[in-house]
Amino acid sequence: MRILIAAGHVIDPSQAIDGVFDILIKGRKIEGIYPKGKAPKGEIDRVIDARGMYVLPGLVDMHTHLREPGFEHKETIKTGTLAAIKAGFTSVCAMPNTMPVNDSAGITEYILQKAEEEGACAVFPIGAITKGQAGEELTDMDTMRNAGCVAFSDDGFPVEKSLLMRRALEYSKACGVPLIAHSEDLSLSAGGMMNEGLLSQTLGLGGIPNTAEETAVFRDIALSELTGARLHIAHVSTEGSVRIIRAAKSRGVKVTAETCPHYFSITEEAVKGYNTNAKVNPPLRTERDVKAIKEGLRDGAIDVIATDHAPHSKGDKMKEFDLAPSGISGLETALGLSLRLVDEGVLTLTELIRKMTVNPATILSLNKGGLKPGSDADAAIIDLKKSFNVDINQFESKGKNTPFDWWLLKGAVVVTVAGGKVHRW
């Protein structure tokens, strides 16, 4: 099967491509990129007319909660990957806070097997740092890496014991994979439920100070510096974290960082009315933090935009604010929210796509995120002129928990090609 994506504006930061090109796909691979009209003639089974559209490498989400095994009422590998491809993502990295936790090669193999059978796109498991994510005993990272884990994280929970975190970094370094830190000092967040400040006081909700994140980011970076291990900071939400990461990078520490669309799109104000769909960990912060996150994205302190797609069931989120779980269903709004950064002049389109493709792929050593000949045929075709209203009823994800319902976003995904398979929306 040969498919021609004709005359689209191709942006592929991995090979500094920004212009109108034809892309030829053969089977599951990219055959080549050619100047418009110059693709070799020969048998072509399908032509996708991409005139007036942007053609991007399939997006890579390095922070996704697929919930399977164990929480299939929230999401499954099938529904999560369907949500991904609808949103232009063709690679998702599955966080280990499932039930059982992905803390052994057997679970990793199960996830990969399920993804092979039912997944709509590539799934890369992230293994737990500690057994059961209990923060006491390290997992067998080497065996899990061999089974297919691309990184290790206790996401959802920090590794509280500093010596254990040190050993985890040493171990992950020996395994050649990065550690993804959920940096949070639980004694400072003290069971809080939203950002600490006037609003948390007014609402009578326990607050989580910025410092709960920043002291942990600082510790994790110090340990990365000590061990020389690669550290990736997940879901950065505060001004101070951006500053600490920027300073560490300037010293040459092997640290990278991600933020998520909700941390640069809305503030703690979204929690007003006790809106559990705006309850997320780390919490939504203030305008000042939002500004700093954007600056971090602009100057490179933050390398990646990840979704932290955290689907929860309606019943879970219908609970009172303090009982409802944290998390936002993020895949299906990620690109539209991120494209606002281009309109605002924070990032160029190329820089934005870099943070959603080649940067996460490079951090995790995935052979993804680009359209080089020979690479997997993963691409997203988007219409930047087309706006759409977010509509949870149209979500492929089981998780309808978003504070962005009915937002008007620009940049509709019209076609996703995942492993050579074409999905048109």
Active-site hit among 61, 185, 220, 308: 308
End-to-end CA distance of the chain: 21
Binding site for ligand DOR (CB under 6 A): 65, 97, 155-156, 182, 280-281, 310, 325-327
- Number of other CB atoms surrounding residue 255 within 10 Å: 25
Question: Can you tell me the distance from the alpha carbon of 355 to that of 122, in angstroms, rounded to the nearest whole number?
Answer: 18
Q: How far is the CB of 393 from ligand DOR (least distance, A)?
A: 22
Q: How far is the CB of 162 from ligand DOR (least distance, A)?
A: 20
Q: How far is the CB of 167 from ligand DOR (least distance, A)?
A: 22
Q: Is 74 exposed, middle or buried (0-12, 13-18, 19+ CB in 10 A)?
A: buried
Helix (H) or strand (E) holding 181: strand 179-181
Left if phi > 0, otherwise alpha if psi is -120 to 50, otherwise beta: which for 274? Answer: left
Residue number with CB closer to ligand DOR (209 or 327) = 327
Question: Can you tell me the distance from the alpha carbon of 422 to that of 425, in angstroms, rounded to the nearest whole number?
Answer: 10
The two three-digit tokens of residue 5, written as one number: 């994506």
Q: How far is the CB of 312 from ligand DOR (least distance, A)?
A: 7
Task: Report helix, strand or coil for 365.
Answer: coil
Residue number with CB closer to ligand DOR (53 or 328) = 328
Cβ atoms of 143 and 128 within 8 Å: the answer is no
The DSSP string of 207-259 is EE-HHHHHHHHHHHHHHHHHHT--EEE-S---HHHHHHHHHHHHTT--EEEEE
Residue number with CB closer to ligand DOR (31 or 308) = 308
Q: How far is the CB of 17 from ligand DOR (least distance, A)?
A: 35
Question: Can you tell me the distance from the alpha carbon of 57 to that of 90, in angstroms, rounded to the nearest whole number?
Answer: 9
Helix (H) or strand (E) holding 418: strand 408-418
Q: How far is the CB of 328 from ligand DOR (least distance, A)?
A: 7
Residue number with CB closer to ligand DOR (61 or 378) = 61
Q: Is residue 308 flagged as an active site residue? A: yes
Q: Is the peptide bond before 100 cis (omega within 30 degrees of 0)?
A: yes
Q: How far is the CB of 326 from ligand DOR (least distance, A)?
A: 3
The amino acid at residue 408 is L
The amino acid at residue 419 is G
Task: Report helix, strand or coil for 272.
Answer: coil
Helix (H) or strand (E) holding 55: strand 54-57
- Which residues does the annotation mark as catalytic? 308
